[in-house]
Structure 1
Amino acid sequence: MSRKKANILIIDDDTYITMTLSMFLEQHFTNIKSINFPEQIPAILEQENFEVVLMDMNFRKGDTTGNQGLYWLNEIKKQSPESSVILITAYGGIEIAVQAMKKGAMDFIVKPWKNDKLLTTVNTALELSRTQSKVQQLKQQSKILEADAGMHHVKMIGQSPAFHQVIENIEKVAATDANVLILGENGTGKELVAREIHRRSQRKNEVFINIDMGSLSETIFESELFGHVKGAFTDAKESRIGRFEAADGGTLFLDEIGNLSSNMQAKLLAVLQNRTIVKLGSNKQIPINIRLISATNTSLQQMVTEGTFRQDLRFRINTVEIYIPPLRDRIEDIPLLCSHFLETYKKKYQKASISLPDYVVKKLMKYTWPGNIRELQHAIERAVIMSNNQALQSSDFSFLESSSSAEESPLDTYNLEQLEKWAVENALKKYKGNITKAAQELGLTRGAMYRRLEKYEL
């Protein structure tokens, strides 16, 4: 007969009772521990999580009041609120046992007990404990996920060979549970790749939890990643799970992992090696089951050489590496990205008629984009917000404007095309991108003005 995985604690001053209960329950459950003195309760609960606690109501010889049982029940619920407590009482103590249930006990059994009734009660207590723990985890997960809500349905967009190589690598690694390290400059979409790996993985129906490691200081590192118990530090007014526990069963994404101090690296490595966490202020080891994805915009190999990043941690996090090229190396994707961001911000800012002409897109494709996709996204959002025209112009993207002083003064040339381009550019500047007024200044119709804008890619 297979035994059910469970952590059960028996507390009774009668050695015969603890031995009898242990022998019976060990036939059905995996981890049974017992103690004979209630004063041992705080220490053993500090070391381990028990889903079910079976406890006698009286520990002093001749005492039948049940007061000790009520006291220790209260202590157990304070220290381990998710534990289901089953009280052990003599027939004459049923009234006090009922009173204890009002104070948080799950049920009681009467000595001498019937094994089938005992087994049913323990199984019910076990399911209740796990339900309460899951509810608590879900509540705290939802708090962590609230700030994350907008990212879940963002699609990866591209058509360049470099983009297709990234997708191919994602497909290869997603179905495995291997740790992945994503490399790339800021703004290239490392988190988007991490989410796409999760979306295609066997954990796709579980949570995706992300954390920016660069934003963590030494003082909050353990609390954020591993959680803390009530009273662990001055402001710890309640216990809280960390990102590792919140991601249990799913995927944990550690962004900018290269920013960790040596002390933080050591603590992270210990967790990844042991697959357990210990909350701040506690000694209990909590097993974790996560798929780890990390990302960095720095060369970890160079940091290892310089002695600023642990070689063993680097090996632990990068079973597979995926490199995301910068936007300047995948310029074929810029038109698609422009179209996507334009549609997004047209809806967001209720500017349905605004457009982005091809000649402006071509000019955007010539820019180096040091901030990569994030810079392009912000540039289009700003242009949509600030433009007064139905068609976005080069002047709506200030970084595209030439800094040459030739734009401020007549050209030293008689070339008609260069003179016309200079006139069109400066008319647009004079009227802050207002095409109608600029066309009037130049003596052109709007149609003629648009043809020149396209001709000169302005």
Structure 2
Amino acid sequence: MKHTEGNILIVDDNVDVLFSAKMLLKDHFKTIHTLNDPERIPEFLDTKSCDVVMLDMNYSGSDTSGKEGLYWLRKLMSYDHPPQVVMITAFATIENAIQALKQGATDFVIKPWENEKLVATMLSAYQLSKSRQEVRQLRITQDHLQKDIDKQFGEFVGQSKAMKELYGIISKVAKTDANVIILGENGTGKELVARSIHRLSLRAHKPMISVDLGSISETLFESELFGHVKGAFTDAREDRAGRFEIASGSTLFFDEIGNVPLTLQAKLLTALQNRVVTRLGSNKQVPVDIRLICATNVSIYDKVMEGAFREDLLYRIKTIELHLPPLREREGDVELLTCHFLEMYGRKYRKQVMKLGADTLRKLERYSWPGNVRELQHAVERAVILSDHRILKPEDFYLHEPVKKHSVKDALTLDELEEATIKKALDKNTYNISKTAAELGLSRAALYRKIQKYDIK
């Protein structure tokens, strides 16, 4: 007979009962321990673990009230992760059974027992123990994952005026349940802001649920957000909760809210207004309790003016509006971010501690960073991987300025063209006057005069 992996402890002052129970259960469980004195329970549990305790209710010959068994049941229930407890007694009363179940017992068996019933009761208790252990492990895993997420997104790097103002707003907004919309260019850290708001909120005990609305097709939109029941469509082989239900009690983050098709915006608005969702294929309404944070990199107000985004939906999702500054407007933050990423990727790739040379920092600070913090992060990672220098040089960073198209009316004057050419040559040669003058075919004195003329710094 195949036995389970369960560990069982039997506690009874009658050695015959201990022997009988052990012989009966040994074919069903991996390990059977017995104690004839409940006083030894704490010592036993200090050194061994068990899934189920089969606990007698009476140990003094004259006392059949069950108080002793209930006392030891309470002791067992006081452990951080108590085992399942099945009470046994020859003096059964309804009152004792009710008390035992109220105080945490899994079941109640009367002596003399029916063998099949006792085995079924113990197996059921073991399965319950196993399920609770799995739930506990899932919670531990979730906590670790949440800590990893918080570690990755938990701290902003930046001390510019714009970022300090943002920190202040976040600390105020986070403590409320107000809906928030985060506006900013690609790579500015909109999800980082959303996670920070969630982590500082009263809903932080549950994970934030993120949805990239830009990646969900119209055909899957309702199923993903509202869920479906089995048979609702061809591939719906089982009931499935949508993101609204999963996020209930927590924060729901919609990234790229501006990409939701107009045809689906009404359904989203209805769910947000009524705080209920209906799964596809069902008529049953499911109440949801979410705090909504949205983000977009498009000009949402322009989309409203164009009729591509509902104005009533916009005002529903934007109780608070946050603007993330692009990196080019965060004075002094490029150096802080670069040093942060150098340390992070140095550890990741087990490289020596790398630092920025003065010319390199100047190059990074002069660059416009169209991809914002994300572009800087990737540039630093590439430099760490490919460079063998402890002091990083300008050539360790490959930066690509986007090509700007000029119309006829935007054509440069000769002076503007000359100024731009000199700036480009200076950057290329890291402000080495001799090299720059040679490249431009000028004398050093002539180059100095032109630098003064155009006030190039």
User: Which segments of 5 or more consecutive residues in structure 2 lack a partner in the other structure?
Assistant: 1-93, 105-131, 404-417, 440-457
Counterpart code for 2:433? Q
Q: Which residue matches 2:390?
A: 390
CA distance in 2, matches of 1:218, 1:139: 37
Counterpart code for 2:394? S
Contact kept, 8 Å, 1:356 with 1:392, in 2: the verdict is yes
Q: Which residue matches 1:428?
A: none
1:331 aligns to what SS in structure 2? coil
Q: Which residue matches 1:215?
A: 215
Higher deviation after alignment, 223-232 or 180-189: 223-232
Give, in angstroms, the shift of residue 136 of structure 1. 12
2:272 aligned with 1:257: no
Contact kept, 8 Å, 1:170 with 1:197, in 2: the verdict is yes
Give, in angstroms, the shift of residue 135 of structure 1. 12
Counterpart code for 2:350? Q
Counterpart code for 1:337? L
2:289 aligns to what SS in structure 1? coil
Contact kept, 8 Å, 2:146 with 2:207, in 1: the verdict is no
2:252 aligns to what SS in structure 1? strand
Question: Percent sequence identity over matched residues?
Answer: 51
Give, in angstroms, the shift of residue 163 of structure 1. 0.4
Larger Rg: 2
Contact kept, 8 Å, 1:203 with 1:250, in 2: the verdict is yes
CA distance in 1, matches of 2:302, 2:326: 20
CA distance in 1, matches of 2:358, 2:232: 59
Contact kept, 8 Å, 2:250 with 2:291, in 1: the verdict is yes
Q: Which residue matches 1:205?
A: 205
Give, in angstroms, the shift of residue 278 of structure 1. 1.2
User: Which segments of 5 or more consecutive residues in structure 1 lack a partner in the other structure?
Assistant: 1-113, 125-133, 425-458
Contact kept, 8 Å, 1:364 with 1:400, in 2: the verdict is no
Counterpart code for 2:226? F
Q: Which residue matches 1:290?
A: 290
Instruction: Tell me which of 148, 151, 155 is aligned to 2:149.
Output: 151
Counterpart code for 1:336? L
Counterpart code for 2:214? G
Q: Which residue matches 1:356?
A: 356
Please give the per-residue CA displacement for 1:280-316, whole angstroms capped at 9, x wherever unaligned.
Answer: 2222111101110111112222211110001110110
2:180 aligned with 1:165: no
Q: Which residue matches 1:30?
A: none
1:305 aligns to what SS in structure 2? helix
Contact kept, 8 Å, 1:140 with 1:240, in 2: the verdict is no
Counterparts of 1:10-409 in structure 2 under 5 Å?
151-153=149-151, 154=153, 155-399=155-399
Counterpart code for 2:366? K
CA distance in 2, matches of 1:367, 1:355: 18
Structure 2 CA distance for partners of 1:178 and 1:402, relative to 1, 3 Å? closer
Tell me the TM-score normalized by structure 2.
0.57
1:236 aligns to what SS in structure 2? coil
Contact kept, 8 Å, 2:379 with 2:398, in 1: the verdict is no
Q: Which residue matches 1:72?
A: none
CA distance in 2, matches of 1:214, 1:313: 17
2:171 aligns to what SS in structure 1? helix
Structure 2 CA distance for partners of 1:417 and 1:381, relative to 1, 3 Å? closer
1:362 aligns to what SS in structure 2? helix
Structure 2 CA distance for partners of 1:257 and 1:208, relative to 1, 3 Å? same
CA distance in 1, matches of 2:363, 2:260: 39
Contact kept, 8 Å, 1:187 with 1:371, in 2: the verdict is yes
CA distance in 1, matches of 2:432, 2:270: 68
Contact kept, 8 Å, 1:145 with 1:209, in 2: the verdict is no
CA distance in 1, matches of 2:142, 2:222: 16
Q: Which residue matches 2:25?
A: none
CA distance in 2, matches of 1:254, 1:193: 13
Please give the per-residue CA displacement for 1:148-201, whole angstroms capped at 9, x wherever unaligned.
Answer: 885322211111110011111112211111101111111111111111111111
CA distance in 1, matches of 2:134, 2:262: 33
Give, in angstroms, the shift of residue 417 of structure 1. 5.2
Structure 2 CA distance for partners of 1:181 and 1:371, relative to 1, 3 Å? same
2:433 aligned with 1:418: yes
Q: Which residue matches 1:437?
A: none
Counterpart code for 1:151? I
Counterpart code for 2:150? H
Contact kept, 8 Å, 1:140 with 1:241, in 2: the verdict is no
Give, in angstroms, the shift of residue 220 of structure 1. 1.2
Give, in angstroms, the shift of residue 401 of structure 1. 9.4
2:282 aligns to what SS in structure 1? coil
CA distance in 1, matches of 2:355, 2:229: 54
CA distance in 2, matches of 1:136, 1:264: 39
Give, in angstroms, the shift of residue 359 of structure 1. 2.9
Give, in angstroms, the shift of residue 375 of structure 1. 0.6
Contact kept, 8 Å, 1:231 with 1:281, in 2: the verdict is yes
RMSD of aligned C-alpha atoms? 4.3
2:399 aligns to what SS in structure 1? helix
CA distance in 2, matches of 1:149, 1:378: 24
The count of corresponding residues between Structure 1 and Structure 2 is 301
